[in-house]
Amino acid sequence: MIIGIVGLPQSGKTTLFNAVCGARQETGGFTAAGEVHRGIVKVPDDRIDVLTEIYKPKKITHAEIEWMDVAGFTGETSDRNKVDSELPTAVREADALAHVVRAFEDDNLPHPKGSVDAMRDIRALEDELIFSGLVLAEKRMEKIERRLKVVKDDKVEKEKAVIDKCLEQLNADKPLRDLDFSDDEMKTIRGFQFLSIKPKLVVINIGEDQLSKRDEVEAEFASIADAPHCMVEIVSAKVQMELGELDPDDRKMFMDDLGITESAFDRLIRKSYKLLGLISFLTGGEKEVHAWTIKAGMTAQKSAGVIHKDFEKGFIKAEVIPYDKLAEVMSEAEAKKRGWMRLEGKEYIVKDGDVIIFRFNV
Ligand SMILES: Nc1nc2c(ncn2[C@@H]2O[C@H](COP(=O)(O)OP(=O)(O)OP(=O)(O)O)[C@@H](O)[C@H]2O)c(=O)[nH]1
Ligand SMILES: [Mg+2]
């Protein structure tokens, strides 16, 4: 699962990337077109800490997501043949987008649009995502219609229906992520990698001096998160990056000074996880405590396959203790004694925080 960072040049994308991934890429230097930074982020999870206390494992493994940082783009082109070269092509492979929007004031750093106006920039990027999809869909539709003139083809007819649905939405200046698509429809259009279909996290990048007004800023942009598959988070990327470079003791002191809590940043990463429709189930033992990433709605048998294909193939049953129950007694044996361990079959829909032991045959 990949989150692609997008936004205007010099909005703080690489700064955010460094903060999130603990990376040390150059900031303020214009990430070059075609340059891609990749990093892996551990998803903070208090439940792992509790399970660690219970099982005292040799190894601890968090859920992870990949973040990707690319060059900025202004999206000022109105030339339909150029639009694709303007958008960093790498972000097409992302599963979700994080749009970094500059809200910080800095007289020494000119804004590519001449002034700081976060709402304008949010809308402009959305327009660009929609526009690039429109170009793609229109081109495809031409091909489809040409083909259907020559031959009757059910598969192509089906594709036409989905592309029509997309075109209607895009022509109304609305993103595809607002629409519901069936699994079948999704399969049909997956190859186009439409940007406006990707879940979007809007990251409002505020300056250090705005940190004390965080709640006001949050209220100002709250409506953005009303749209389906959209979330907003307020951070100061620069402060977070600098905090990340400190050793833990100094960091704690700095954060107290600035009045920021650890959870502000953890929340950004947790949100991105949720935005992707991901949840974790947990496994615990002396060897390892492990948070495993699955798509919400996955069955027990499919989830077993995330650990090992043999678990899925030879699946017999899942022994499930909900995390809250386990944390209540802090002992697997005690939870079992109290009858809190359930036996679930292959069709069981795994819940976030299920602590699972899979029984299987190979
Ligand atoms: N004052 C201030 N400056 C910031 C903040 N966040 C980022 N910057 C500065 O903005 C400049 C650009 O930051 P980058 O992270 O390189 O921006 P970018 O979006 O990756 O830029 P491109 O790669 O050119 O698209 C750097 O000089 C940062 O130090 C902030 O919260 N406050
Ligand atoms: Mg950059």
Nearest-angstrom CA–CA distance, 204 and 355: 35
What is the per-residue pLDDT across 323-338, written as a single tens digit (0 to 9) for each?
999 999 999 999 999 9
Is 173's pLDDT higher than 90? yes
Spatial CA neighbour of 289 closest among 67, 40, 39, 46: 46
Percent of the chain at pLDDT > 90 equals 72
Q: What is the predicted pLDDT for the residue at 86?
A: 62
Q: What is the predicted pLDDT for the residue at 142?
A: 96
Residue 238 CB–ligand 1 contact under 6 Å: yes
Nearest-angstrom CA–CA distance, 237 and 90: 22
Residue 169 CB–ligand 1 contact under 6 Å: no
Tokens 């910080």 sit at which residue?
104
Choosing from 17, 21, 27 the residue with most ligand 1 atoms within 8 A of its CB, the one to mutate for a pocket test is 27
pTM here is 0.89
pLDDT tier at 29, thresholds 50, 70, 90: confident
Average pLDDT, the chain: 91
Ligand 1 closest atom vs CA 31: 23
Nearest-angstrom CA–CA distance, 222 and 216: 10
Q: What is the predicted pLDDT for the residue at 235?
A: 92
pLDDT tier at 199, thresholds 50, 70, 90: very high
Residue nearest to atom 21 of ligand 1 (CA): 10
How far away, in angstroms, is 249 Cα from ligand 1 center? 26
What is the per-residue pLDDT across 44-66, written as a single tens digit (0 to 9) for each?
899 999 999 999 999 999 999 99
What is the per-residue pLDDT across 106-156, written as a single tens digit (0 to 9) for each?
999 999 999 999 999 999 999 999 998 999 999 999 999 999 999 989 999
Structure tokens at 32: 């070059």
Structure tokens at 326: 């386990």
Residues around ligand 2, an ion, CB closer than 5 A: 13-14, 31
Q: What is the predicted pLDDT for the residue at 221?
A: 95
Contact 124, 132 (CB under 8 A): no
Domains of the chain: 2-275 (3.40.50.300), 297-360 (3.10.20.30)
Choosing from 13, 15, 265 the residue with most ligand 1 atoms within 8 A of its CB, the one to mutate for a pocket test is 15
What is the per-residue pLDDT across 249-281, written as a single tens digit (0 to 9) for each?
888 888 888 777 765 678 888 888 888 889 999
